[in-house]
Chain A
């Protein structure tokens, strides 16, 4: 049996009058990909932000790689020390930095020696198939290329857990299908523990080892699945 890499235990979160999460518990085994499905406002993004440390749970606990990172109202380990890779819905690529500099920022922060950084960056850019774009700025890239840069930035630090917040939602169906397959390929290659938030069941079919359904701040079902291959 695989070890649990991420554990969310009975977590609750409230924003003023809006109860975002109610007693949510979730375990993700190392190397698994969990896809969280649900309508807008059901608490999917809030759950990801709590795991990343961008929000603090009102109650409950969050564990990462055997270490408790947050507990009722307190951050025990700050976001940048949790070993998280995060792909935001709007990608959040830093507009004043080139692709290479976006990646360098991560490597600097991870204290990767200066002479190793170019190799690490090239490896991950080749992995996402955009190694020729390293000197471009985000606004010089197409939507699909920006998506790949965001993924490269999330992976270059070799995160313990990869969080993806509806990363394909703004793409046209054709590009979406292509990138979905690429994501599945990367996840299989790297065996990185992944939590993927979406409202699209096609994403779940291709990417998920486990599909979690959320409604109104609660997990209503969790189903283990076998992934469907999609032509790249």
Chain B
């Protein structure tokens, strides 16, 4: 028994150490340096410039959270409570924009708006619109998951008394409200953490100012001072979201009972709305990029010229996804098997760390690793990019894998232990094989996120070692749009390819009814 426990403690302990070093230490270092700095007073008492930044940042976050929720929540309700044709495929397509790097959608917007909406193209409302198009799937998926966890009998009990609209308003939505609100808070945090879109659309917010202070003015002290209010804002809002969600993040068991499709009378307007969102958020940006890229003389020359960046991105994203999943699987396991407050504290920590804006992670990593000695040997190499991926994506992968672990009953592990298997053997032969789909999904998700990562990469990448996102972002200002669009399109294609394969698999799979399942 002791040996079984000790191997588990050792493996999980190593994962926790990696998590602390990669994810917590850069932020902790930044906080310590900022709070211990000589001019903390000016970070607390805001001057007019700071107030303007705070106002823009808060407006960007609030506007995006509201607009993304307004678009996403009704779609989530439709997916959860309506009988829609090809629902799995529709869900996949509607979720796809969340995987696109926001600056790609922003780039498409500048090409579209450049000629049609010149005054409006580079503005705060435009940034809100672009970020809402990228983040609405988070609200949609959170709403659907929340609604699926509501016991259908609670709605049926109301349906024998009141009409469907009244049931939705008085029973379903109040029960789903905490999940919807938490998703809106997460979107708020992601929007205020975004660097690419405000930078591209020339909106002054904290993330762009931090980047300018660090990369253009080489003023590390000011960058850290600017990071403090944004960091505190992100951490407080993320902690509130995590507390609202409670144990729901990881508990994956569905409630007993059925899910009545009582909103079917609104199926036609819902389908029309879903297709309209899909066209605006996915089809339109891709079509604009295709149209712009057609102006290039030689696609092969464009791709050959950026071949090193493409290869770098593919290799680094592959290595990054593998490293992230290798750490996150043990953290997810520990979270899934934790009970009571410890588990909820872990959720809050994961969400809070994930919410740290990418530019702040980048500045923190540089502050921590750019020094003499063994740290210096790492700085200036591709390992910094891997550290960046670990810092940004381990928390979200750990949460996803914790949910996956919950599907494997503890009794399976206990049965293996009773049969004489050590913990590692039980994990290798019993638990991990049952999690293979979750592991594959976490790997693909991390690969896609790492492949599109810009905020950390642009700060920590060694000189001359550009990834594809850095190449696209840095050539926007001085390269023909057709060239940039072609590269952005290639990036979009690589990101959407796994999703398209999944879509093909889903559409070929026989429906539940055809399989003879009672639904």
Q: Which residues of A contact B (CB under 8 A)?
A: 15-18, 52-54, 78-80, 82, 84-86, 88, 90, 92-96, 105-106, 108-110, 153, 157
Contacts and interface: CB of A to CB of B under 8 A. Distances in A.
B257 interface: yes
A95 B153 CA distance: 12
Contact of B174 (A53, A90, A92, A96): A96
B163 A90 contact: no
Contact of A109 (B153, B154, B161): B161
Nearest to A153: B157
Nearest to B170: A105
Nearest to B167: A80
B35 to A, nearest CB: 41
Contact of A90 (B171, B257, B516, B517): B257
Interface string B132-162: 0000000000000000000101101111111
Contacts of B229: none
Contacts of A93: 157
Residue among B156, B171, B175, B260 facing the most chain A CB atoms (10 A cut-off): B156
28 contacts: A16-B513, A16-B516, A17-B516, A18-B518, A52-B160, A53-B159, A53-B160, A54-B160, A78-B163, A79-B160, A80-B163, A88-B156, A88-B157, A90-B153, A92-B154, A92-B157, A93-B157, A94-B154, A94-B158, A94-B171, A94-B175, A95-B154, A95-B175, A105-B158, A105-B171, A106-B161, A109-B163, A153-B157
Contact of B156 (A18, A92, A106, A109): A92
Residue among B153, B174, B257, B260 facing the most chain A CB atoms (10 A cut-off): B153
Nearest to B151: A92
Nearest to B518: A15
Contact of B161 (A80, A90, A96): A80
A34 B260 CA distance: 27
B166 interface: yes
Contact of A92 (B153, B162, B517, B519): B153
Contacts of A109: 161-163, 166
A78 B174 CA distance: 24
Contact of B160 (A16, A84, A95): A84
Contact of A157 (B154, B161, B519): B161
Contacts of B38: none
A157 B156 CA distance: 16
Interface in B55-114: none
B510 to A, nearest CB: 12
A146 B162 CA distance: 21
Given A16-B518, A18-B518, A54 B175 contact: no
Contacts of B171: 94, 105
B256 A80 contact: no
**3 closest cross-chain pairs (CB), A and B:** A109-B162, A92-B157, A92-B153
Contacts of B518: 15-16, 18
A78 B262 CA distance: 11
B473 to A, nearest CB: 46
A54 B517 CA distance: 19
Given A16-B513, A109-B161, 14 more contacts: A16-B516, A16-B519, A17-B516, A54-B156, A78-B163, A79-B160, A80-B160, A86-B157, A86-B160, A93-B157, A94-B171, A105-B170, A105-B171, A109-B163
A52 to B, nearest CB: 5
A18 B158 CA distance: 27
B332 to A, nearest CB: 29
A84 B158 CA distance: 11
Contacts of A105: 158, 161-162, 170-171
A90 to B, nearest CB: 6
B163 A16 contact: no
Contacts of A153: 157
A80 B162 CA distance: 5
Contacts of A96: 174-175
Nearest to A104: B170
A110 B170 CA distance: 15
A85 B161 CA distance: 8
A160 to B, nearest CB: 12
Nearest to A105: B170
Contacts of A88: 153, 156-157
B22 to A, nearest CB: 41
A153 to B, nearest CB: 8
Contacts of B159: 53-54, 79-80
A79 B163 CA distance: 8
Contacts of A79: 159-160
A50 to B, nearest CB: 12
Given A16-B516, A17-B516, A82 B175 contact: no
A4 B153 CA distance: 29
A222 B477 CA distance: 84
Contact of B256 (A85, A90, A106): A90
Residue among A54, A78, A85, A157 facing the most chain B CB atoms (10 A cut-off): A54
Nearest to B166: A109
A18 B517 CA distance: 9
Contacts of A86: 156-157, 160
A88 B171 CA distance: 16
A106 B175 CA distance: 18
A157 B166 CA distance: 16
B349 to A, nearest CB: 29
A82 B256 CA distance: 26
Interface in B485-519: 513, 516-519
A121 B158 CA distance: 17
Nearest to B157: A92
Residue among A15, A79, A93, A94 facing the most chain B CB atoms (10 A cut-off): A79
A111 to B, nearest CB: 10
Contacts of B519: 16
Nearest to B256: A90
A199 to B, nearest CB: 18
Contacts of A90: 151, 153, 256-257
Nearest to B513: A16
A29 to B, nearest CB: 22
Nearest to A106: B161
A118 B318 CA distance: 65
A181 to B, nearest CB: 25
Nearest to A150: B157
Nearest to A78: B163
